[in-house]
Amino acid sequence: MSRTRRTQELLLVVGGVPAADQHLEIEPEDGRPSAIAQVRVWTLGASDTSDPEDATTGVAAIDTNPNTTLAAAAGRSQPDPTALTLTLATGVVVGRRYLLADDNTQAREWVEVAEANGTAVRLRHPLINDYSIGATFVTARCTIQASPSWLAQLATLSPNVHPAPSYRVKWEMTVGGQPRVYVRGLDVVMYPASHGVTPLDVDDRHPGFLDRLPPNHTKDQGRTLIEAAYADVVREMRGDRKADQSLRDPELVADLVIARVHLNLLASAQSRGADVTEATDAARDNWRQTYDQAIRSDVAAVDVSGGGAATSIAPTPLFRRCR
């Protein structure tokens, strides 16, 4: 699941494919829970007083790693405010987000790992606070296995005609000694929604993209910016009551994402004082034209039923030859 989206997608199991060990997951924004009471799933239109779906099996688990501490002081006053030295590095994954907290100063912030070499970790963004030796570095990720039998039922498949998620997942847990409830969206799909755009694809269309990346986006060649641009495309489509998971035209989706990431990068530079107003306006016009022609004109090939088949929709001609 992309971290820019809170609606998770699980794949329908057809003939044992894909493998049935799919999981629902969450990273509570308030921090690492100490206990999970229950996880329940309803269709979006069902109330919490109705019977939940048989969507999960087993018990929910809180990831155990990483759950470690700092072996050296870190933070904004250090020579490198992006550097951490951990006591243990078990479970640290590049690209994942973790919670760093210091009980002595009550400082805490979410961090994203850009590099990991043994116990030496480099973050994507400089730390805002200072942290002493012994500050905690933990994951907040929780998971529960999705029921293979539930995912094998065709009736669970989400319809592709509506942009809202088909299911509501309610997580009840204890965080910081307090009961918490978190709600996330869920869709069951035949194909995952994706964009397929790489940093080189953006640079091919807009030469110099890789050279203009902000310093904290150079390590991943702007992949995070591409994911953010895809999230913008999804939000724009939902505003027009269109579902991104229904699109079956990879080239069109790529065009939309590339146009949006180009616009976002220029708009960000402009907000920092760069003299790119003319280029930003041109990029915005290009994005709007690309989006309107593809989505608002209803020419994109879409999957209406959710079963995978695409239906090409073309607008009615303004003029029709009469005999």
CA angle centred on 99, ends 97 and 104, rounded to 5°: 160
pLDDT value, residue 132: 97
Q: Based on the domain organization, do 256 and 270 belong to the same domain?
A: yes
CA distance 258 to 42: 36
Q: Tens of pLDDT along 247-264?
A: 778 898 999 999 999 999
Q: How many domains is the chain partitioned into structurally?
A: 3
pLDDT over 60 (residue 320): no
Domain that holds residue 292: 199-312
Name the token pair of 50: 């109705």
Inter-axis angle of helices 250-271 and 277-291, nearest 10? 160
**Cis peptide bond prior to 52, omega within 30° of 0:** no
Q: Are residues 123 and 159 in the same domain?
A: no
What CA–CA distance (Å, rounded) separates 306 from 193? 12
**pLDDT band at residue 1 using 50, 70 and 90 as cut-offs:** very low
Among the listed residues 149, 183, 142, the one whose alpha carbon sits nearest the alpha carbon of residue 55: 149
**Cα–Cα nearest to 56, from 165, 159, 167:** 167
User: Same domain for 24 and 160?
Assistant: yes
pLDDT digits (tens, 9 = 90+) for 166-179: 999 999 999 999 99
> How large is the average pLDDT for residues 120-146?
97
Kindly state whether residues 213 and 283 are assigned to the same domain.
Answer: yes
Task: Answer with the one of 138, 157, 173 that is the final residue of a domain.
Answer: 138
Domain CATH code at residue 50? 2.60.40
The residues that bridge with 205 in the sheet, in sequence order, are none
Note whether 129 and 171 are same-domain residues.
Answer: no
Say yes or no: 85 and 131 in one domain.
yes
Residue type, 28: P
Q: Whose CA is closest to 147, among 23, 45, 259?
A: 23
Percent of the chain topping pLDDT 90: 73
Asked whether residue 217 is domain-assigned, the answer is yes
* Mean pLDDT confidence for 54-62: 97
CA separation for the pair 194, 262 (Å, rounded): 18
Taking all residues of the chain, what is their mean pLDDT, rounded to a whole number? 90
> Do 295 and 146 form a contact (C-beta atoms < 8 A)?
no
Same domain for 303 and 167: no
Residue 1 lies in a domain: no
Res 30 pLDDT > 50: yes
User: Per the domain annotation, does 2 fall within a domain?
Assistant: no
Does some domain include residue 323? no
The pair of three-digit structure tokens given for residue 191, joined into one six-digit string: 């194909």
Residues 298 and 221 in one domain: yes
**Full-model pTM:** 0.84
